[in-house]
Amino acid sequence: MNYFSTNFTLGILGGGQLGKMMLYETRKWDIKTHVLDPSIEAPCRIAADYFEQGDLMDFETVYSFGKKVDILTFEIEGVNIEALEKLEEEGIKVYPSAATLRNIQDKGIQKQFYKKHQIPTSAFNVFENKDSLNHAIFQKEISFPFVWKSCTGGYDGKGVSIIRAAEDLIPLADGACIAEDLVPFKNELAVIVARNPLGEVKTYPVVEMEFHPEANQVEYVICPARIDENVAHKAREIASKVSEAFKHVGLLAVEMFQTDDDEILVNEVAPRPHNSGHYSIEASYTNQFEQQIRAILDLPLGNTDSKAGGIMVNLVGAQGHTGQVVYKNIEKILAMEGVTPHIYGKKETRPFRKMGHVTIVNKDLDKARKIAEEVKKTIEVITE
């Protein structure tokens, strides 16, 4: 099929920053795009050929949007799966498929999927609601400490809590949840896997993630991860196995723990471009967003190697600031070596909201890490 400079239409469910960065690539290749998002101020609005405001969880909205496009993808998991299934039945290509999304959208189903496919993951129990979790604690079926995760709706550190005592349960939302063993680990790692409909698979280098202690959000993504080559090889192999099991098409971000004894455990996955792959825009031969387009259009996958060491710093809203955003000292970081800021286009900031990211590239990873720290100290996401 000829995708370039034609009436072929790619539909994207979700108009946030991931969609916006995907649109850089469709613009580069002159591929026509339609985007659906609930917000009239969605970052994608400025770059899509056609933008529609609507509820991603509403069957009729998603179904009627999907009927206008040739291939449909998404940049957020919170979409109506029944609509995707109906579209697939009627011949619209949906990548990743509704079946893949069904196994990922609910974290309880996702964990059971790993167990079924013998993919290493931490021990867990699934509960229908908070009452059944409390009952299991009372019966001593599970013990403190453990990790609580909401089965649906969690993102950017929301919907995840470490439970060390009974009182930690009080503020938790009711609803289906999982309780996972708290695994001692030395690193949080991630591997982006690309797979096209022909089954061609490529993995990106393993990245290492450093988290903010309060927000449970990634502060730095470091590529390549500063780990032993054998551990890196094992992580990429396991990520490929996860990709094969899900039979996804597009990108799959596989988040993992490297345990104290160098085992690799899969934490969770995201079937889309991911925060852990943003470094690739400047540091890789083929960035993750171009790779997503290549994969879902069944084009040859690009080279996943890095040109240089890459570090990504998330730009999040400063505490105590809600309102019209100001990027204080952005001109100072622009003067630094190998530094590229990406501003997502969200007009209003609030504490810990992802507003952008900054990539630092350098052949010397230690030097890149020092510059990243300087960037973090210098730029502030605040209000007037």
- Tell me if 268 is assigned to a ligand binding site: yes
Nearest alpha-carbon partner for 14 in 57, 60, 64, 49 = 57
183 is in an annotated binding site: yes
Instruction: Answer yes or no: is 182 a known binding residue.
Output: yes
Strands 93-94 and 71-74, bridge-based pairing: parallel
282 is in an annotated binding site: no
329 labelled ligand-binding: no
Instruction: Please indicate if the annotation marks 93 as binding a ligand.
Output: no
202 is in an annotated binding site: no
267 is an annotated ligand-binding site residue = yes
| R_g (Cα) of the chain, nearest Å | 21
188 is in an annotated binding site: yes
Annotation: binding site for ATP: 107, 149, 180-183, 188, 267-268
Annotation: binding site: 107, 149, 180-183, 188, 267-268
